Amino acid sequence: MKYKGYKAVVKFNEGDDCLVGKVINIESPTAIVFDAQSVTELRTEFHAMIDFYLQTCKEKGITPKKPMSGQMTIRMSPETHASLLSTAHTQGLSANKFINQAIEQRLQS
């Protein structure tokens, strides 16, 4: 689910027999979580939670955490950079695709 640049993942909570959503693309000390009985209700709750979060930040004079864009700069030695490009090319991948696959594999282990 996406709304105003924020993304949420949805899981089914068997114990409570409901859908539970959690905003995933902001760094926040407290999670933004919401639940509902149907997809339509869940979407409404998601929008309401984001709107509430943004309004609360405005009222408190706090800058809201911006959604992560998915872009970041990675610094590495020239030797590592050359090795990365060579290995990615050998596998028929762009450097970006190679790095993404390596990170995803590492996060799953």
21 beta partners: 10, 34
10 beta partners: 21
For residues 9 and 69, which has the higher predicted lDDT (pLDDT)? 9
Domain ranges of the chain: 2-60, 78-108
**For the purposes of burial, counting CB atoms within 10 Å of the CB of 18, is it exposed (0-12), middle (13-18) or buried (19 or more)?**
middle
Q: What is the pLDDT of residue 51?
A: 96
User: For the segment 7-40, what is each residue's pLDDT rounded down to a tens digit?
Assistant: 999 999 999 999 999 999 887 767 899 999 999 9
Across 14-101, where does the E strand assignment appear? Answer: 18-23, 33-36
Is the pLDDT at 44 greater than 90, yes or no?
yes
